[in-house]
Structure formats: C-alpha cells, structure tokens
Structure 1
Amino acid sequence: MTTNIDAVLQQAVDAGASDVHLKVGSAPVIRVEGELKRLDGFERLTPADTKSYAEEILTPRAASDFKESGSADFAYGRHELGRFRVNAFRQRGSVSLVLRRVIPGTQTFAELGVPKIVEKLVNAKSGLVLVTGPSGSGKTTTMASMVDWINANKAAAIVTVEDPIEVLHPDKRSVVVQREVGVDTAHPSEAIRSAMRHDVDVVMISEIEDVDTARAAVSAAETGHLVISSMRTTDPADTVHRIVSLFQESEQKVIRAQLAGQMSAILSQRMIETVDGRRVLACEVMTNNERVSEWILNPNEPGSLVEIIKESGFFGMQTFDQSVLDLVVKRTVDLQAAIPNVRNVHEFRARANEAGIDLH
C-alpha cells in the first residue's frame, strides 16, 4: 500500500463519488452518478491494505463489533474530507469496506425535488412520517432536510436517534439533540422512550428495523409527537405490510389500528438517471385519508392501495408512475430510462403519448 485511506477518500471526493468500495483483489472502486468505476493510479488491494485502512478509521465501539461479529457500521469524518457512513465486514477471510459520502449541509425541499406536500407534513404537530426506498435512494438526505426545515422554521425540541450520526444539525430556531446508537444509547427504542420523558416535540429515527423500534415509534406518534423515520421498503403498501409483519399475529390487529390513526405519510423514493447523466428523485406519496385508513385496517390486494393513491391527488398523493411521467414531460428523464421504473407500462406510454412525448 502506497497511501493512507484519507488519500483514497480525497481522490473519491474530487471525482464527485457517492460511494467508495475497498476490497482485496481490486483497485479502489467509486460510484459516480450511479455508475461504478475504478480510481486511477491504484494497484489491486492486498489483505494488508484493507486491514490497514480499517484500522485507521474504526472507532473503539466499531472495532469491538467487528471483532465480535465480523462487521461494523460507523461514521468517519475529517474536516477536509467531510463525513462518511462506513460498513466494514469480512469476506473470504479478508476485510472489506464500503464508505458512503454524506454531503455536508442539507438541501432544501425544492433542491431535492420532493413533493410540495412534505412541507405540510413536517409542519404538523404529530404523526408518523416514513421515508422509504432501497439503499442509495436518498432517504437520509430527505430526512435531514426535514429536520433542517423544522429547525429553521419552528421553535421545537428535536431529538434524533441515529446509527450512526451522519448529518450534524446546529441549533437554529429549534433545540436539536442528536444521540448515536452504541455511543449515547444502547438501542433506538430506549432512546425513543427516554425522549418521551423529556420536553420533546419531534423525534427522528434513522431507521425502523425491528419490532421494539417500531413499537416505540408508533407509541411516540400516539402521544402527540411528530416522528420521522425510514425503512428499506419499496412502496407504501410494502411498508405497511413490513411494519405489521414485525409484530406477533395476536398484535397485528392492534398495530393496524394504530397505523391507521397515526400514519401521516409514506414517501417512497427512487433515483432515476436524467438525460444529462445525473440522477433525479422520483417519489410515490401516500398521505392519510379515510380510504387509506380503511385499507390499512382491512388490506386487500396490494394494488388496491396504488389505485387509492392514483385517485387522491387532492390530498397530495401521487404514484411512482405519475411522478416519473412528470419528469418525462419536463424532459428531465427520457422515456427509455423511465420505463423500468413504472408499474403499468402500457398505461404509462399512453399517458406520455397524450402529453406529446415521442414514443419512438
């Protein structure tokens, strides 16, 4: 190895990378605008290289986790480089690292391209707002923007529960307390329950992954708090089913009733390549109204919720197909890039044709 990890990260930052992959047998690989490419000027990494990189940046807690389980999630930051979300793990007996760059500061809702309804959602006093999507779909960025909007526009007491802390939120009009799992609290559910005993208005949880966190989040919303969190689910129907499935069958009727009453919105996100090679946000939005509540209580086939969303634009809802069509009509995304991201290709092409889009 001829360089330390900061030099690798500096070159990645200079190239505009969102992610850095370090594994034995390959030169460092970066992702730029969704595409993977190898960094120039680096030879294939050896087991000693990746081990050294990990030892440079592992925190004491992460080092303990890595030794015990063979993987660790933590944050790494340097003033001149910014912050990175890091996953260290063993594969085929050697150490591998994946580092995701956390862009400093926060973007406005307009800059992110989220629907206008989001400002109304985060201005509410209570309810559960979930941001969902696969890795790399911008969930963390959207939630950070939500927290920043509240921080800048409302006098509120905000607690974030993160694993790890990725975006720093200095106080503006609000008071923001940021707690990191494994450092400031043992488990997200413990931090949420602790927050309920304090003078807190807003709770942001980096991710709901287990039944204890889900139970605590819904309970916090029920007791009059605004709760913002994320899940790795594909769309609103999948999100509701995933939450319910975390609970024992004997509890599922109760959790459905709680969700029907407390769920303010689910924003499901995807990133799509634009005509100029960048990536843009497409977003399906489910807010809560009488029809949505009825579906949560008595779900039919998953497609039925899509129909409710499609017909409820008045309430700020939109399907992925409607969101993507808007991007195509604006000439932000071309038809070929759009098609893999829609549910009903035939209907989508018909709507695009009606809007004057050339289908050939």
Structure 2
Amino acid sequence: MPFTVTTFHRLLDRMADDGASDLHLSSNEAPYFRIAGQLVRSPDQFSTSAELEEVARVVTNAQQYKAFESQKSVDLAMASADGERFRVNIYRDRGNVSFAIRLLDNEFQTLEQLNLPEQLRNFIAMPDGLVLITGPTGSGKTTTLASLINQINHDQTKHIITIEDPIEYVHRNQQSLVHQRELYTDVPTFGDAVRSSLREDPDVILVGEMRDAETIRAAVTAAETGHLVFSTLHTGDCVGAIDRMIGVFDAEEQLALRQQLSMVLRGVVAQHLIKDPRTGGRVPLSEILFVNPAVANLIRTSKSAQIYSIMELGSLEGMQTAEYALADLVANGVLTESQAMPMARDQRALKTRLDRLRGFEVFGNQ
C-alpha cells in the first residue's frame, strides 16, 4: 500500500486519537509514535524515501522547500481538518527524508496549570529588557513563552510581535494587538524580522530562538531601545545561557556585548521536564535568575561563574537554583534523593537544602 499525503494526514489524526505527543517517519521503516514518553512502533504502514520526498513537496510552500533543499532541514506548522495543530520538522537522514512531528496544544495554559513558579509573572510586568527561556529540546520552552505572551495579551494593552519558526501557538487579539510572523513564509531570517519589527511600533517582541550573532545583536538592540524582548536558547542552565550568547561572538565583540547584556538582560529561566511517577506526566524543574546590580556587574566583568552564589542568596528576589527546585521535587515525591543527586550541579547545596526541608518537616507526608 503506497504511502501518500492522505496516509500522512491519517497518521496525524491518529496522534490525537491515541494521545501521542510525537510521530517519527523514516524511509523504509514503520511509523513510531511517542505515547506517555515511550516510543511505540506501528508496523502497519511503511514509507519509502521517494514517498516521503513527495509528501515533503506537498506540505511545504516554495520558500520552505527551498530552505529544506539548501539547509537539509526545515520546520513548519500544519493544521488538520479537525483543528489540531502540528509542528513538523523535515530533515535528511543518510540522504533520505525523515519527519519528526509534534502535536501542539491548542489551549493556552496558565503558569499555575504548567506548574511553573509564580515569580515568572514578574517578567511580563517589566517595561523593557531581554528575558531568556532556556533548556534542552522538548523542555517546554515554547509552551512557557506562549503562556507568558498569552498573559500579556489577556491583561495588558500592548502591540506584540512574534517571530517564530514555525508559529506553534496562534494568539488572537484580546487586550493586546498581536502580529505573528513565520520564518520563510513572512520573513527571511530572525535578524531581519527583529530589525523590521522596530519600525512597526512594538511594545513586546518574541524572538523564537537566538540562533546566530545576527539575531542576538538585533534582539539586544531591540531591548536597548525600550522594548520587552523574549527569546529562547538551548542551554541547560541560566549561567550557560549568558555564556552561550557571549561565546557566539569573537573576542573583540565580547566585551561590548557583556556591557550591553549587563544593562538589558532582565532574567533567565532554565527549565527541564521531569517524569512524575504520581501522574505519569511530567513536571518542570525551573532555575530562575533575576538580574540585579550584583549580577549585572558579574556579567560586565566576565565573572559569570560567580552568579550562582548570588542566586543561592536571592530567594527573596524570586531567584532559585536548580538545587533548590530539585529539593522541592524530592519533598513532593516526584524524585527520590538518589535520583535527584546526579541532576544537581552542586550536590552539596542540594544536600543542604534537603536537610533544611527535613528540619521543617516538609517530608512529613512521604
């Protein structure tokens, strides 16, 4: 039985019906669904490289397919007839075509529903500056950003411009005016789109990802000129995000960028998703940095490694280290102490926090 575009759409429908978060299509292989975090092979429909190549041609527009041909990978968003939305990544694998598809949540969730710390609300009240959400692939960065933007849209009268690859959550105008621009469909690059947006009277700009020096420069400039800018990076912790941004530039430019970041960076959230044995779902592990004068000085003077010391003492300002968050997950029964220890950057700090919680009898229900 040939694998056609109709077959492709039928598999997308199955994702929603079976509760799958992801679908993987590979040449000369059966589809794989990710259900409840586990990969499940579905041997009823194989696909060849030529068939997947044809599907790629059909589901992309001219600009997207051109990007796929030149870069060997492209992202796009799709919607089913039932209104379900999907993020589709098409890529080359040993010369063949493969697909990685994620089922998107059509409903915006609040920070409370996402089990995210309440202090993240402080970021959306800021008048300007740069806020970074960082974490590995699949850690919920896009969902967190969507929640923050939706809250601004719901509560404030702002002009919000998002620049994404692809658009995953569709924001309808509420109190705010929202324009969403998609890479390869509406704009050629993130950097071009950010520079263009500055001529469009924005209050809030969302940059889907800090991929290169051009995008970082444009985003920092936007934050310097009085706009609130949100973006993402693929790093595991808050300090790593700062170092990653600076490390993109050569030595001559790094000093100037440190100076700029010390003035415009407002905060960093690093998040991971941890499996919750109580529900079978996943809960976020959030490290939170708010940039105060002491942190800004460490960024400016190339002493970012010392930022963790300030974070450990900054709980009254809303900061929390990964060790602080891990200890709470242990106290709530999501992790055991032996599971949490390898995840800690500083195991001694985690042990100290756990001992303190035990002293307050937080573990009384365990």
What TM-score does the superposition give when structure 1 sets the normalisation length?
0.93
Cα deviation 1:104-126 (Å, max 9, x = unaligned): 12110111122212111111110
Cα deviation 1:263-320 (Å, max 9, x = unaligned): 1110001000112321110010010112211211123373x22222111111110011
Is the Cα contact below 8 Å between 2:263 and 2:296 reproduced in 1? yes
Q: Take 2:83 and 2:336, find their aligned partners in 1: how far apart are those partners?
A: 34
Q: Take 2:117 and 2:103, find their aligned partners in 1: how far apart are those partners?
A: 25
> Secondary structure of 2:113's match?
helix
Look up the match of 1:17: 20
Look up the match of 1:268: 270
- Within a 5 Å distance, the mapping from 1:132-171 to structure 2 comes to 132-171=134-173
Look up the match of 2:292: 289
> Secondary structure of 1:283's match?
strand
Q: Take 1:27 and 1:255, find their aligned partners in 2: how far apart are those partners?
A: 48
Q: Take 1:273 and 1:159, find their aligned partners in 2: how far apart are those partners?
A: 33
Is the Cα contact below 8 Å between 2:295 and 2:307 reproduced in 1? yes
Find 2:327's aligned residue among 309, 325, 328: 325
Change (3 A) 1:164 1:152: same
Q: Take 2:45 and 2:169, find their aligned partners in 1: how far apart are those partners?
A: 33
Cα deviation 1:220-261 (Å, max 9, x = unaligned): 111111000101111111111111122232221111111111
Q: Take 1:225 and 1:233, find their aligned partners in 2: how far apart are those partners?
A: 24
Q: Take 1:81 and 1:337, find their aligned partners in 2: how far apart are those partners?
A: 40
Q: Take 2:356 and 2:290, find their aligned partners in 1: how far apart are those partners?
A: 28
Q: Take 1:9 and 1:339, find their aligned partners in 2: how far apart are those partners?
A: 39
Q: Take 2:107 and 2:181, find their aligned partners in 1: how far apart are those partners?
A: 18
Find 1:355's aligned residue among 354, 357, 362: 357
Q: For residue 352 of structure 1, report the CA deviation from its aligned partner.
A: 2.8
Q: Which amino acid aligns with 2:249?
A: F
Bigger Cα displacement from structure 2, 145-154 vs 333-342: 333-342
Q: Take 2:113 and 2:331, find their aligned partners in 1: how far apart are those partners?
A: 19
Is 1:180 equivalent to 2:176 in the alignment?
A: no
Q: For residue 55 of structure 1, report the CA deviation from its aligned partner.
A: 3.7
Q: Which amino acid aligns with 1:309?
A: M
Look up the match of 1:47: 49
Q: For residue 346 of structure 1, report the CA deviation from its aligned partner.
A: 4.5
Q: Take 1:25 and 1:350, find their aligned partners in 2: how far apart are those partners?
A: 52
Q: Take 2:51 and 2:236, find their aligned partners in 1: how far apart are those partners?
A: 37
Q: For residue 67 of structure 1, report the CA deviation from its aligned partner.
A: 2.9
Q: Take 2:168 and 2:74, find their aligned partners in 1: how far apart are those partners?
A: 15
Q: Take 1:6 and 1:339, find their aligned partners in 2: how far apart are those partners?
A: 43
Change (3 A) 1:328 1:79: farther
Q: For residue 43 of structure 1, report the CA deviation from its aligned partner.
A: 4.1
Look up the match of 2:126: 124
Q: For residue 162 of structure 1, report the CA deviation from its aligned partner.
A: 1.0
Q: For residue 351 of structure 1, report the CA deviation from its aligned partner.
A: 3.5
Is 1:341 equivalent to 2:348 in the alignment?
A: no
Is the Cα contact below 8 Å between 2:213 and 2:248 reproduced in 1? yes
Q: Take 1:321 and 1:120, find their aligned partners in 2: how far apart are those partners?
A: 22
Is 1:29 equivalent to 2:29 in the alignment?
A: no
Q: Take 1:221 and 1:335, find their aligned partners in 2: how far apart are those partners?
A: 41
Q: Take 1:301 and 1:34, find their aligned partners in 2: how far apart are those partners?
A: 35
Cα deviation 1:115-151 (Å, max 9, x = unaligned): 2121111111101000001100001001111110000
> Secondary structure of 1:111's match?
coil
Consecutive unaligned residues in structure 2, runs of 5 or more? none
Is 1:64 equivalent to 2:66 in the alignment?
A: yes
Look up the match of 2:107: 105
Q: Which amino acid aligns with 2:112?
A: A
> Secondary structure of 1:109's match?
coil
> Secondary structure of 1:112's match?
coil
Change (3 A) 1:350 1:33: farther
Is the Cα contact below 8 Å between 2:131 and 2:268 reproduced in 1? yes
Q: Take 1:97 and 1:328, find their aligned partners in 2: how far apart are those partners?
A: 37
Q: Take 1:278 and 1:336, find their aligned partners in 2: how far apart are those partners?
A: 20
Q: For residue 81 of structure 1, report the CA deviation from its aligned partner.
A: 5.2
Look up the match of 2:11: 8
Is the Cα contact below 8 Å between 1:24 and 1:45 reproduced in 2? yes
Consecutive unaligned residues in structure 1, runs of 5 or more? none
